[in-house]
Chains A and B, each alone.
Chain A
Amino acid sequence: DGGITQSPKYLFRKEGQNVTLSCEQNLNHDAMYWYRQDPGQGLRLIYYSQIVNDFQKGDIAEGYSVSREKKESFPLTVTSAQKNPTAFYLCASSQGAAQHFGDGTRLSIL
C-alpha cells in the first residue's frame, strides 16, 4: 500500500542532543512537509520541499534542519538550539493541493 511512514513513533531526547526523525513516502509525490503540533493546537509548518535537493523554511524553522537528497525521504533534525522540542511531529507529502500525512512521531525531553 502506498503511504507515508514516520519513525520512530516515540522518541526521547536528552538536553543538548540532536535527534533525527525519519519520513519516507512511496506515493511518488514531489512535495514533502514537516509540521509541529502542540496540544490543543493546529499544525505549524517547519520546513517544506517542493522537489528533490530543494527546501524552504516554514513559519517555525529555527532550531530545525532538513535534507532532501532522495524523492522518497525527508528527514527532520531537531537540534539542541530548539529550546522547546516536546511536541507531535507530522510529515506529509503532496502532488497537488491535498496533503497526505504519516502517523507522527511524539518527541519528549528526558
Chain B
Amino acid sequence: SQQGEEDPQALSIQEGENATMNCSYKTSINNLQWYRQNSGRGLVHLILIRSNEREKHSGRLRVTLDTSKKSSSLLITASRAADTASYFCATAPPSNDYKLSFGAGTTVTVRA
C-alpha cells in the first residue's frame, strides 16, 4: 500500500530558485526518508529524519517533519540543472522498518 503522497506531482523552476515539495502519510512512523530518482535509474537515498526530529539539513537539502499533521517537506535551495529528477518520500511502520511505502513522487524540472 502506498502510504506517502507527494505534492505537487510536478514542479518546474528556474536554476537558482528553491524547490519545495511535500509528503503526507497516514499512519505512525519511526522515520521518514527522501529519495531521488533520475530518469531510468535507481533511487538514491537523500536524507532520513526520525520521528522525534523536526528538521534536518544536508548540504542544500532541508527536511522538516510534523508528526502531528503527518507531513514532511523537502526544500532544495539554489537549484541546479542536475537536480532535475523525481523525488519520493518513503515511510515504514514502527513494527517493521523493512517494509517501506513510497509515494508516487514529485517530478522536478530545473530550467537553465
Contact = CB atoms under 8 A, between A and B. Distances in A.
Interface residues of A, number: 27
Interface residues of B, number: 24
A45 B43 CA distance: 14
Interface in B7-56: 30-31, 33, 40-45, 48
A92 B45 CA distance: 11
A99 B100 CA distance: 9
B61 to A, nearest CB: 14
Contacts of A101: 42-44
A41 B100 CA distance: 15
**Chain B interface mostly:** loop
Nearest to A101: B42
Contacts of B48: 97-98
B57 interface: no
A67 interface: no
Contacts of B30: 97
Given A45-B99, A104-B40, A99 B104 contact: no
Interface string B82-112: 0000001000100001111111110000000
A94 B88 CA distance: 17
B45 A98 contact: yes
Given A42-B103, A45-B101, A99-B43, 10 more contacts: A35-B102, A40-B104, A42-B2, A45-B99, A58-B99, A97-B30, A97-B48, A98-B45, A102-B42, A103-B40
25 contacts: A33-B100, A35-B102, A40-B104, A42-B102, A42-B103, A42-B105, A43-B100, A43-B102, A44-B2, A45-B99, A48-B99, A50-B98, A58-B99, A59-B1, A59-B99, A90-B43, A94-B98, A97-B48, A97-B92, A97-B97, A99-B43, A99-B45, A103-B42, A104-B40, A104-B42
Interface of A: 4, 6, 31, 33, 35, 40-45, 48, 50, 56, 58-59, 90, 92, 94, 97-104
